[in-house]
Chain A
Amino acid sequence: MELFIIKRDGSKEVFSVDKIKNAIAKAFLSVGSFATQDVLCNILCRVSIRDGISVEEIQNQVEVALMAEKYYAVAKSYMLYRQRHAEDREVTEKLNFMMDYCNAANAATGSKFDSNANVENKNMATLIGELPKSNFIRLNRRLLTDRIKDMYGKELADKYVELLENHFIYKNDETSLANYCASITMYPWLIGGTSSIGGNSKAPGNLKSFCGGFINMVFMVSSMLSGACATPEFLMYMNYFIGLEFGNDYYQNADKVVDLSKKQRTLDKVITDYFEQIVYSINQPTGARNFQAVFWNISYYDRFYFESLFEHFVFPDGNKPHWESLSWLQKRFMKWFNRERTRSVLTFPVETMALLTENNEPKDKEWGDFAAEMYSEGHSFFTYLSDNADSLSSCCRLRNEITDNGFSYTLGAGGVSTGSKSVLTINLNRCIQYAVKGGMPYQVFLEDLVDKAHKIQAAYNENLKNMQSKGMLPLFDAGYINMGRQYLTIGVNGLVEAAEFLGIEINDNPDYEKFVQQILGLIEKYNKKYRTPELMFNCEMIPAENVGIKHAKWDREAGYKVNRDCYNSYFYKVEDDSLNLIEKFRLHGRRYIEHLTGGSALHLNLSEHLSKEQYWQLLKVAAQEGCNYFTFNIPNTVCNDCGHIDKRMISECPVCKSKNLDYLTRIIGYMKRVSNFSQARQQEASKRHYAKVS
């Protein structure tokens, strides 16, 4: 019978004893010795070959055999030889990866470790960012396993790697060393400029230095985070500086010429020129972030949120924030940005409007009305609703309970500072299918895993504190973000898929509600159990730009039931056209999101824009159902030939009649061209059900 061995590339080859003999003979020669037939026979007697054995296994046996026969010098030489080849192979692998990347259709498809559509083009700079990613993963794993070993013992450290390698859990952003994302307070910058975080700019003193300095500050902060940077006070500060120069009633004189140069600009034009400078600068690819733009978020507030967040706020000169002018400036920015997006593809800022609700509708009628107006004009932004101003969301991952509405003369408003230090995601589909197949109650398996996930996150926190003690985290030291106000996030992915596997229908029914409550409730139970004054946990349905695809692929390869190529980031099946819009709000309503303390965004996909009256009614529906975070997503059209951008989803360019079109839609939180998505995401986008409105 012929024996086959498995080569490193996975191919099969007929086993040849001569090849082993040759390798051993060469090892003897390399130390100035010679292997006789007898010697070779003795060594080979210790090697047992079976069908399907791998090259690696054979070489391991040869090593052991050489040592057992006491040829220590030869064994050492053989091992070193193997090591050199392993290193060669690594370089070859990197080279191959490089060439594959260069040949890939776009940057997100080419990326092996952490694909992200937030990169327009592939080029030398993005490649340079891509290459060390595998080393970062190893480094991060080592840092964390060492710490887990210290805190909880070797068993948990080994278990962590095992869970990762078998895709029960996923460590988000393992390709970066920095902590995840933050919503910052800008007060330390307002007082002291950027020197406390390693920069050299002084505190902003006027509108011009505010706008220029703001851009630099956002770039600096973002380079020390692996994810998003939210500046929820951006417009409030800008409003303050405009007021300093033009008076708090400036908005009533916006049409006056204030620029005496030949341009004769009105105040409105001066303000929108600053918008332009800031927004276009921040949308540029950034060197320090592998040519990604910084992920920038801003917030708008209704009067009640504003009052609750900033009632005690005082600027260093003793001035208080001025609501009427800020209200105008917020509206002006939204109108300007919506218009500007027909001129250029602008991804950032991601905007969130916080509205307080009362009796199931926006309490501030003016701002509720304005939200409906902006949606009806085709603007795409998130709305955060709450019947109590005790929580806030400044980005998909930045929902927080406002425990401190106080004001400090060094740190500013307490409520805006939050973020996530680290995200560890549980692949629910894998966990539940694994448990059920093994004849184990999945609740028991999950509970044990959730417990471990919290320990792992606690270990991460210790590493972060260690970094801080070495002076590596100036954002914390300078007070831009606060260790105690940042969450450790337990992410979930594959929830819908797990429910499907259990035979539960994915719509609003008691079984599904019970399942969701049970799973997320379990995580919340442990979030509370592990909470200490310095450890806060939250739970989030992660947007999963690439994790959803990876999990689907890995689980399918491992023989699990996988119904789609990208796991959902919603409580419903993205391709399900039997669910109407109201049902989707319901599935992201209070009964389902109750335990999702870190938030999840409902993206309502529509094929056409609605009227203001209709959006107003849908705001009410969201408030009734308790759906606190959502946006409406109507793909915009970009003409690849003439560059025309249209807010509608159309099949022919109205300007040049071209049919060579691309569509802009939200991938997770932000708008990008569909052709920049990774290939699997493009398929998901094409399957998304855009509710017919006619």
Chain B
Amino acid sequence: MLKYLSFDIVFQEVPDEVTLAINISGCPNRCKGCHSPYLMEDIGEALNEEALANLLGRYTNAITCVCFMGGDSEPGSVEQLSLFVRESSNRRLRTAWYSGKNNLPSGCSPESFDYIKLGPYVEELGGLDSPVTNQHFYKIEDGKMKDQTEAFTKKMRQFEFEDVCAV
């Protein structure tokens, strides 16, 4: 059974979306230098359709996306919950999955998500905003995974100003 420890409204994990990020515990990956090692423990409350419906009840109109942070111990459940989010919002909400695995588990279909992040955290290579990261961020369009990792390294660019307004 999936469990989650906390949730937050985040902006950088999924570009251009206002995202409800759910921090799932019981992470089977043992990445060295993990920024939230407590999520390796089997703690928190059950994350099922009922719990998710509760969270959505509070935030559904405010957000554009739900992101599952982790859940690699039960990829099938994550996929089911993703489909549940879509269905219960009449496909208005997009979904994202932050997985620590290098590849999407064989039983999972990319089409069940709108965004997928893959790859374990490797201390020397850094996270998505590092130029040498091993992680990849994909946007799913027409069932295909399009790599958009670049969007994260561009994040800290200086502002570009338009000097003249378009008429």
- B162 near A335 (CB under 8 angstroms)? yes
Contacts of B164 in A (CB 8 A): 254-255, 268, 335
A interface residues, tally (CB under 8 Å): 39
Q: Which of B140-167 contact A (CB under 8 A)?
A: 155-156, 158-159, 161-165, 167
Chain A min CB distance to B159 (Å): 5
Contacts of A658 in B (CB 8 A): none
- A611 near B163 (CB under 8 angstroms)? no
- A694 near B13 (CB under 8 angstroms)? yes
Chain B min CB distance to A270 (Å): 13
Q: Report how far A618 CA is from B59 CA in the complex, Å.
A: 12
Chain A min CB distance to B152 (Å): 9
Indicate whether A647 sits within 8 Å of B159 (C-beta atoms), given known contacts A611-B16, A618-B18: yes
Chain A min CB distance to B160 (Å): 8
Indicate whether A614 sits within 8 Å of B18 (C-beta atoms), given known contacts A251-B167, A582-B9: yes
- A335 near B18 (CB under 8 angstroms)? no
Convert B122-143 into 0s and 1s, putting 1 for each residue whose CB lies closer than 8 angstroms to a CB of A: 0000000100000000000000
Contacts of A648 in B (CB 8 A): 156, 158-159
- A654 near B12 (CB under 8 angstroms)? no
Convert B4-43 into 0s and 1s, putting 1 for each residue whose CB lies closer than 8 angstroms to a CB of A: 0000111111011110000000000000000000000000
Interchain CB contact (< 8 A) of A621 among B13, B18, B161: B18
Contacts of A609 in B (CB 8 A): 159
CB nearest to A654 among chain B residues:
B158
With an 8 A cutoff between CB atoms, is A617 at the interface? yes
Indicate whether A624 sits within 8 Å of B61 (C-beta atoms), given known contacts A251-B167, A580-B8, A614-B11: yes
- B159 near A694 (CB under 8 angstroms)? no
Number of A-B contacts (CB under 8 A): 76
Q: Report how far A617 CA is from B10 CA in the complex, Å.
A: 13
Q: Report how far A301 CA is from B44 CA in the complex, Å.
A: 48
Q: Report how far A556 CA is from B67 CA in the complex, Å.
A: 45
- B158 near A646 (CB under 8 angstroms)? yes
With an 8 A cutoff between CB atoms, is B64 at the interface? yes
Contacts of A342 in B (CB 8 A): 159, 161
Q: Report how far A72 CA is from B155 CA in the complex, Å.
A: 84
With an 8 A cutoff between CB atoms, is B62 at the interface? yes
Contacts of B18 in A (CB 8 A): 614, 617-618, 621
- B158 near A614 (CB under 8 angstroms)? no
Chain B min CB distance to A515 (Å): 21
- A378 near B17 (CB under 8 angstroms)? no
Interchain CB contact (< 8 A) of B12 among A377, A608, A617, A618: A608
Q: Report how far A681 CA is from B155 CA in the complex, Å.
A: 31
Q: Report how far A131 CA is from B61 CA in the complex, Å.
A: 54
Indicate whether A693 sits within 8 Å of B11 (C-beta atoms), given known contacts A621-B62, A624-B61: yes
CB nearest to A336 among chain B residues:
B163
Indicate whether A335 sits within 8 Å of B11 (C-beta atoms), given known contacts A582-B59, A621-B18: no
- A252 near B161 (CB under 8 angstroms)? no
- B165 near A617 (CB under 8 angstroms)? no
CB nearest to B13 among chain A residues:
A694
- B162 near A694 (CB under 8 angstroms)? no
CB nearest to B155 among chain A residues:
A608
Contacts of B129 in A (CB 8 A): 694
With an 8 A cutoff between CB atoms, is A404 at the interface? no
Convert A240-260 into 0s and 1s, putting 1 for each residue whose CB lies closer than 8 angstroms to a CB of B: 000000000001101100000
Q: Which of A508-550 contact B (CB under 8 A)?
A: none
Q: Which of B49-67 contact A (CB under 8 A)?
A: 59, 61-64
With an 8 A cutoff between CB atoms, is A590 at the interface? no
Contacts of A338 in B (CB 8 A): 161
CB nearest to B157 among chain A residues:
A648
Indicate whether A331 sits within 8 Å of B165 (C-beta atoms), given known contacts A617-B64, A621-B62: yes
- B159 near A582 (CB under 8 angstroms)? no
With an 8 A cutoff between CB atoms, is A71 at the interface? no
With an 8 A cutoff between CB atoms, is A280 at the interface? no
Indicate whether A335 sits within 8 Å of B165 (C-beta atoms), given known contacts A580-B8, A647-B159: yes
- A328 near B167 (CB under 8 angstroms)? yes
Can you show 25 pairs from A to B with CB atoms below 8 A apart? A254-B164, A328-B167, A335-B161, A335-B162, A335-B163, A339-B163, A342-B161, A360-B61, A580-B8, A582-B9, A582-B63, A606-B11, A608-B11, A609-B159, A610-B11, A611-B11, A611-B16, A612-B16, A614-B17, A617-B18, A617-B62, A621-B62, A647-B159, A693-B11, A693-B12
Q: Pick the 6 closest A-B CB pairs, nearest first.
A: A694-B12, A613-B16, A580-B9, A693-B11, A617-B18, A582-B62
Interface residues of A (CB under 8 A from B): 251-252, 254-255, 268, 328, 331-332, 335, 338-339, 342, 360, 377-378, 580-582, 585, 606, 608-614, 617-618, 621, 624-625, 646-648, 654, 692-694
17 further A-B contacts with Cβ under 8 Å, apart from A606-B11, A610-B11, are A255-B164, A328-B165, A335-B161, A335-B165, A342-B159, A377-B159, A580-B8, A581-B9, A608-B12, A614-B11, A614-B16, A617-B18, A621-B62, A624-B61, A624-B62, A693-B10, A694-B12
